[in-house]
Amino acid sequence: MSTNVGLDIDRGRPLPAIGTTEAKLQQRKLDALRRGVHRIQDHSEMPFGIHLVGIGGAGCRVIEEFLNTAPENLLDKPGSRFTALAIDVGDDDLLKVRTSATRFPEERTQVETVALDMASSEELQEVVGKYADFLKLEYPMYHPNPGSTSWLPSGKSIRAEDGSMTRAGSKALYGQAYYDADRPMQKALKRFVASVEKTGGNSIVCIVFGLAGGTGSGIAMDLARHLSSVQFGRRVLVTGLGIAPHPDEVTPDKLTRLHAVFSELDVLCDETKNAGITLSCGDLFKNPFTAGFMIIPQPANVSVSEAREEVSKRLAKLLFERRGANVWEALRLLNWVAAPSTQHSAARTPWGSRWIHMIGSAPDGNGSSNRDLRKDLGLLEDYQPEFLELRASGTIDESERKAWTEALDAAFSPEAPTCATDGGSPGIVQYLLPRLALKDLSVFEAARNAYDEADLLHRQSEHALLLDQGILLCEPSTAIEGMAGASLGGGSQWIAVPRDQLRGRYE
């Protein structure tokens, strides 16, 4: 008599009756995650090897918090090392980072700050005019096009109306420091890489920035490419940590900026879209976030200043708790949960359009059963994850732990019941939501609409990635019908990314 009941070879126990081989393999994968295939059993002797790049105010605050609150014995195991690079326009936030950098032994720590000097529009236009020569340093076969020297909007301030930097202005300031004169930014990245490579164990680099910040998001795309592909040669894992804006910060101008940021991350992190970029722009536009990209939402039930403080604290704790084991476990989980059934467990998983992962957190006694978790995180109803993991302190009340797992199950209906594990901070629960698409974010449609309503000069000023290639990513292609990426300056540059897909429409 035939049967479709499977057998778990590893454990010798029957699986539920599942009709297809693919479904059986999926069930085995979920079972393996529940057993903790991704977990590190003994972290006590692990060399610490998590390194930080913080860009803009949000990124610098996380580094400052890490330096102030990480345990003083964090680097006491042989091979441990911590490297941090904080970058901002001006020196105000950077001074706090330097002040906090003295808690750890100098022989195992390198903390550096780079203050980008403010320049006039005329000075930056002169820098942009040299970009064709700059890019020949990176692309021996580079053929300049007219748009590669006309991408910084003339006659428009590099400061937005709210006082923040425009993304194009930040890109120009970074380009000046990376390419021009003594190249201080390039030298800082080289020193950062040299320090990371002194780590006596595995390393991961986290690039932290605010998604709606003009400085952070305007610099992060180019810096990530230069660091991951040029300086590291794609040998070290690099992950992006993008801090979402607080609801009270979401203005039409910030939404316009967010649409450009989302689109640029989309063509980097979705491997299908990324292939349409590298086809015309070269391999230095391969996805630099080799360990994935995570979004960190800000708590909406407190003020902007309180939310910033909470996010910095919670993110810093995630990075140093259990000597970094929590971060490594999260990356292992993400790589496993999205893997095709035929993929070797050591291979890097392609995430496709679902390249976003989200870290949610809240006080552990904050009434989980009364919370609208989707609204808290800014997620729409269609998102349903395969697997959820809740991390809490070992001291959490068991009834509260159960309440949180039930709340997550009720809110998201994962394929397998939410799995709870220890190792978190006292008083805080964290949970990892894997594999979101942009269209799962409630802010995505509003950002797209705000972008469409802005004037062209404003839209151009909030682009960054591909400007030096003479391309406005979010505009309709002027070379290939149906594609994204308008050419600047009368050029004929192109990319092979369908614009409808970039705008969240796949049907």
Q: Is the model's pLDDT at 259 over the cut of 60?
A: yes
Please name which of 36, 87, 49, 75 lies closest in space to residue 329, comparing C-alpha atoms. 36
Q: Is the model's pLDDT at 344 over the cut of 60?
A: no
In 327-427, beta strands by DSSP E: 356-363, 389-391, 419-421
Q: Which residue has the higher pLDDT, 448 or 131?
A: 448
* 353-374: average pLDDT: 83
* 311-335: average pLDDT: 94
* 5-22: average pLDDT: 49
Q: Would you state the pLDDT for residue 143?
A: 74
Q: Would you state the pLDDT for residue 261?
A: 99
How far apart are the C-alpha atoms of 292 and 22, rounded to whole Å? 25
How far apart are the C-alpha atoms of 17 and 288, rounded to whole Å? 41
| Token pair recorded at residue 114 | 């780079």
Mean pLDDT value across the chain: 90
Residue 309, classed as helix, strand or coil, is: helix
* 133-162: average pLDDT: 82
Per-residue confidence band for 343, with pLDDT thresholds at 50, 70 and 90: low
* Stated pTM of the model: 0.93
* 70-94: average pLDDT: 96
Burial class (CB in 10 A: 0-12, 13-18, 19+), 3: exposed
Q: Would you state the pLDDT for residue 9?
A: 39
| Token pair recorded at residue 23 | 């479904």
Q: Which residue has the higher pLDDT, 17 or 393?
A: 393
Q: Would you state the pLDDT for residue 348?
A: 62
Q: Is the model's pLDDT at 90 over the cut of 60?
A: yes
How far apart are the C-alpha atoms of 209 and 92, rounded to whole Å? 17
Q: What is the pLDDT of residues 162-208, one digit of tens each?
A: 889 999 999 999 999 999 999 999 999 999 999 999 999 999 999 99
Q: Would you state the pLDDT for residue 340?
A: 63
CA torsion angle 316 320 324 325 (round to 10): -90
Q: Would you state the pLDDT for residue 165?
A: 94
Q: What is the pLDDT of residues 422-433, one digit of tens each?
A: 998 898 999 999
Per-residue confidence band for 14, with pLDDT thresholds at 50, 70 and 90: very low
| Token pair recorded at residue 132 | 């064709």
Q: Would you state the pLDDT for residue 369?
A: 58
List, in sequence order, every residue forming a beta bridge with 487; answer none if it has no partner.
Answer: 471
Please work out, in degrees rounded to the nearest 5, the angle formed at the alpha carbon of residue 316 by the alpha carbons of 405 and 173.
125
Question: Is residue 440 within 8 Å of residue 297, measured between CB atoms?
Answer: no
Q: Is the model's pLDDT at 131 over the cut of 60?
A: yes
Q: Would you state the pLDDT for residue 19?
A: 60
Question: Is residue 438 within 8 Å of residue 371, measured between CB atoms?
Answer: no
Per-residue confidence band for 329, with pLDDT thresholds at 50, 70 and 90: very high
Q: Would you state the pLDDT for residue 144?
A: 76
Q: Which residue has the tokens 């290639």?
A: 469
Q: Is the model's pLDDT at 129 over the cut of 80?
A: yes
Range from 7-11, 155-159, 191-195 carrying the lowest mean pLDDT = 7-11
Question: Is residue 274 within 8 Å of residue 221, measured between CB atoms?
Answer: no
List, in sequence order, every residue forming a beta bridge with 87; answer none if it has no partner.
Answer: 55, 114
In 147-281, beta strands by DSSP E: 204-210, 237-243
Q: Is the model's pLDDT at 272 over the cut of 60?
A: yes
Could you give the domains of the chain?
Answer: 1-35 (no CATH), 50-120+183-337 (3.40.50.1440)
Q: Is the model's pLDDT at 141 over the cut of 90?
A: no
- Cα 504 from chain centre: 19
In 367-427, beta strands by DSSP E: 389-391, 419-421
Q: Would you state the pLDDT for residue 132?
A: 87
Q: Which residue has the tokens 């096009």?
A: 145
Q: Which residue has the tokens 């490594």?
A: 328
How far apart are the C-alpha atoms of 432 and 359, rounded to whole Å? 5
Supply the DSSP string of 214-240, one letter for each residue: HHHHHHHHHHHHIIIIIISTT-SEEEE
Please name which of 214, 222, 219 lies closest in space to residue 253, comparing C-alpha atoms. 214
Q: Is the model's pLDDT at 98 over the cut of 80?
A: yes
Q: Would you state the pLDDT for residue 347?
A: 59
* 336-355: average pLDDT: 70
Q: Is the model's pLDDT at 3 over the cut of 70?
A: no
Residue 346, classed as helix, strand or coil, is: coil
Q: Would you state the pLDDT for residue 267?
A: 98
How far apart are the C-alpha atoms of 25 and 18, rounded to whole Å? 10
Q: What is the pLDDT of residues 434-480, one digit of tens each?
A: 999 999 999 999 999 999 999 999 999 999 999 999 999 999 999 99
Per-residue confidence band for 368, with pLDDT thresholds at 50, 70 and 90: low
